Amino acid sequence: MTSLHAVPTAADITVSHALIAPLIHRTPVLTCRAINAMTGADLYFKCENFQKIGAFKMRGAANAALRLSPAERARGLATHSSGNHAQAVARAAQELGVPAYIVMPENAPQVKVAGTRSYGAEVIFCASTPEARTAKLAEVVAATGAYFIHPFDDYNVIAGQATAAKELLEDAGSELDILMAPVGGGGLLSGTALTAHYFAPQALVIASEPHAVDDAYRSFHSGKIEHNASTDTIADGLRTPLSQKTFDLIRQHVDEIIRVEETEIIHAMRQVWERMKIIIEPSCAVPLAAVFAQPDTFRGKRVGIILTGGNVDISQLPF
């Protein structure tokens, strides 16, 4: 097995799926009669909130780690993140018995630091700026020889995230008309779009994004990578701009990006909590919010939605 250095093929995604199977859960696909009745659509929810570390990020991190040579892998895995990707890299390293080095800003929430350490990772703090983060990571990589797993600008990560949509297609029980994912850095969305392109070419790929951080929407329409002036959204997983790799794939294989308001995100999140009795983080309510916001696009359609994660501070809820 070797690392991927070009856009993943259908075979690359299939092989990645087999490769990571021992390190991930095959999460369930759930349906909800009440939410179907509200939307007039047949919705199939892929529950990555039940994934290891509580988010789909485990897939990409596992794929990147498993595709290293034994010698490379033994030097360890590194990344900078204070979110789900940090825990995914830490957990992948733990499962493979190699060290993990996670660079985090010194003001990272204590619960994220403790969560990452609980998987045996070494946390290295840096000042809270993008420059300090990049510099500290380079320092760590130079000192340890660890492999840097980027949260999304890496074809191994993209191929790993693509496996969530592949399972959703396999388990939904019938052909889907639409596949949906939220978009932050674009790793999940570009993987989902590739999976649709190869395995469900009949399906539209519709992304969704908070209006407050609509860089992907603007990039999609302007043809160049745009940035956000503010990061003021409850969907904390979706504040990141695209990278070159994810931007190119999204331009090529995504059909539409729908923007939603903060109140719509909170409303959709609440419906999932109350009707489905499952815990999802705000970022993953964004596609359902789009279904509520543009009902005509989805009515009568079979729609697969990836629920990306369930890591939310339950003492700080927006309800």
Find the binding residues for a second copy in span 233-252 (CB under 8 A).
none
Euclidean distance between CA atoms 44 and 31, whole angstroms: 5
Which two structure tokens, joined as six digits, stand for 146?
């660890």
Q: For residues 52 and 85, which CB has a smaller minimum distance to a second copy in the complex?
A: 52
Euclidean distance between CA atoms 180 and 137, whole angstroms: 33
| Angle between helix 84-96 and helix 110-117 axes, rounded to 10 deg | 10
Closest approach, Cβ 87 to a second copy, in A, equals 13
Contact between 147 and a second copy per CB under 8 A:
no
Cβ atoms within 10 Å, residue 114? 10
Closest approach, Cβ 48 to a second copy, in A, equals 10
Among 197, 211, 218, 270, binds a second copy (CB under 8 A): 270
Residue 82 carries which side chain, given as an amino acid letter?
A: S
- Give how many residues touch a second copy by CB under 8 A: 17
Contact window for a second copy (CB under 8 A) among 93-101, 200-208, 212-220, 308-316: 308-316
Contacts of 81 by beta carbon, 8 Å cutoff, 6+ apart: 89, 102, 103, 104, 151
Contact between 173 and a second copy per CB under 8 A:
no
Q: For residues 54 and 210, which CB has a smaller minimum distance to a second copy in the complex?
A: 54
**Residue 145 and residue 76 in contact, taking contact as beta carbons nearer than 8 Å:** yes
Q: For residues 1 and 111, which CB has a smaller minimum distance to a second copy in the complex?
A: 111
Cβ atoms within 10 Å, residue 64? 29
Contact between 50 and a second copy per CB under 8 A:
yes
Give the bridge partners for 187, in sequence order: none
Closest approach, Cβ 47 to a second copy, in A, equals 8
Find the binding residues for a second copy in span 53-82 (CB under 8 A).
54
**Residue 187 and residue 151 in contact, taking contact as beta carbons nearer than 8 Å:** yes
Contact window for a second copy (CB under 8 A) among 102-110, 150-158, 224-232, 277-285: 277-285
Closest approach, Cβ 275 to a second copy, in A, equals 9
Binding site for a second copy (CB under 8 A): 28, 49-50, 54, 270, 273-274, 276-280, 310, 314-315, 317, 319
